[in-house]
Amino acid sequence: MGMGMAPPPLLLLSFLLLPLLSTAAPAPTTTLRLYRHLPHVEEAAHHHPLSRLAAASLARAAHLKGHRRGATSKGSKQHPQAAALYPHSYGGYAFTASLGTPPQPLPVLLDTGSHLTWVPCTSKYQCSDCPPAAAAAAAAPVFHPNNSSTSRIIGCRNPSCLWVHSAAHLAAATNCTRSSVCPPYAVVYGSGSTAGLLIADTLRAPAGRTVQSFVLGCSLVSVHQPPSGLAGFGRGAPSLPAQLGINKFGYCLLSRRFDDNAAVSGSLVLGDAKPAAGGNSMQYVPLVRSAAGDKQPYAVYYYLALTAVTVGGKAVRLPERAFAANAAGSGGAIVDSGTTFTYLDATVFQPVADAVVAAVGARYKRSKDAEDGLGLRPCFALPQGAKSMALPELSLHFKGGAEMKLPLENYFVVAGRAPPVPGADAAVSSAEAICLAVVTDLGPNGGAGDVTGGPAIILGSFQQQNYYVEYDLANERLGFRRQPCAASS
């Protein structure tokens, strides 16, 4: 994420200066409904849904790795930065936040890979190249500060202005006085950007958990962004957990098979979670800091103490960068709610993919058409008449002995009858296949692409389905346990 000065948008608002930041006393555990954010999307007939998921996951990885170039997977015709943005591009898990006085309910996407919360703001909000379709865009919810008696703009000398601008930048600003406004922010993502002004307002949640002066971005202009805002749950002072004053939060991500059922949701827990039904115990993984220290954006991420990856019970020989980040922020494994398919950089992906192919052996035929059309690999053609396939187990091992044994549906995805790939035999192209639900950025000849910066592994939401994942910030650890996440509304 990059932040910097942006031309001041035209504002028809007037605010008072922000009073001293204040938070409420600790409150009981709060549980919020966490649902898939599924606005209307224009479907492209020639794009399989999985190809868009793969492209969006790569665009997200490009953002988290700190560079903005488009990366493509081997054989894929997709360019992530030009791919249509749709709900799952940011993981697709949202909850409702109530802002202002009186409260204005707004959907925001849960994002553990960033720490600034922002919402579409004012009746003048403009979003270019953004879903949903133009006819439905007018109905997309936006926050109206003029309708809130508690909205305040952040001043240039307010400490929270340093969340989006460096001290050197503010010191060089000749008009940065106690009475002037904090300069506009600009947040640049892998697939677009958003810009606006920092404001403060009352954030309300159930069980009395309220922040009187919650600082967030009032975005006035966006490019290629989702119709809702983002709630930053990453490390750092601007994050929602930090401003709420909580040291533990968690989520249970609903299985993607419920994507077409809006009545079923997962959950976001602010505070301690209840014990799981059935007695599944929590396993804990140490959270580690990037060797890059406070260097952005790596200081925001939750790095995991990964020690090994096994396929079919056999350890995969991986480079050191898979397990730890260096002082430049290159390497290491992070967990991210906003990435859909897990990302492995090419130096990590190739050994894992080779291990999967070796474990499958000659039982199933590779589906090159599916791989080329979807941007996922390896893909195996489903034998005619087969109702099941024998596939290897994939497990992640962590310092301290914790092991995440992923269920098959969390790391393989069934590719239904996709639109034919141009130039391919129609009967073969439309055959069903099953693909490893992992993305990478391979070079044009299948070699390693740009692996110089950012995390080597990004554990995405697809792999976290039906897990309760707990961020224990006080003890610097991440907990996980398998449990059903479906709850009917």
Catalytic residues: 111, 336
d(CA 173, CA 157): 11
CB neighbour class for 330 (10 Å; exposed up to 12, middle 13-18, buried from 19): buried
Determine the 3-state secondary structure of 188 from DSSP: strand
d(CA 398, CA 317): 15
The structure tokens listed for 389 are 């396939």
User: Would you give the DSSP letter of residue 25?
Assistant: P
CB neighbour class for 372 (10 Å; exposed up to 12, middle 13-18, buried from 19): buried
CB 250 within 8 A of CB 267: no
User: Would you give the DSSP letter of residue 325?
Assistant: B
- Quick one: which of 249, 145, 256, 155 has its CA closest to 205? 249
The structure tokens listed for 92 are 């697709």
d(CA 90, CA 92): 5
| Count of other CB atoms within 10 angstroms of residue 422 | 10
- Quick one: which of 125, 105, 99 has its CA closest to 196? 125
User: Would you give the DSSP letter of residue 448?
Assistant: B
CB 27 within 8 A of CB 62: no
Backbone φ and ψ for 137, nearest 5 degrees, come out as -60, -35
| Count of other CB atoms within 10 angstroms of residue 479 | 20
DSSP conformation letters of 35-102: EE-----PPPTTS-HHHHHHHHHHHHHHHHTT--S----TT----GGGSPP-GGGGT-EEEEEEETTT
Residue whose pair of structure tokens reads 């003890």 in the numeric block: 475
Cis status of the peptide bond prior to 378, with omega within 30 of 0: yes
The structure tokens listed for 246 are 């909580």
Find the distance separating the first CA and the last CA of the chain, reported in whole Å. Answer: 35
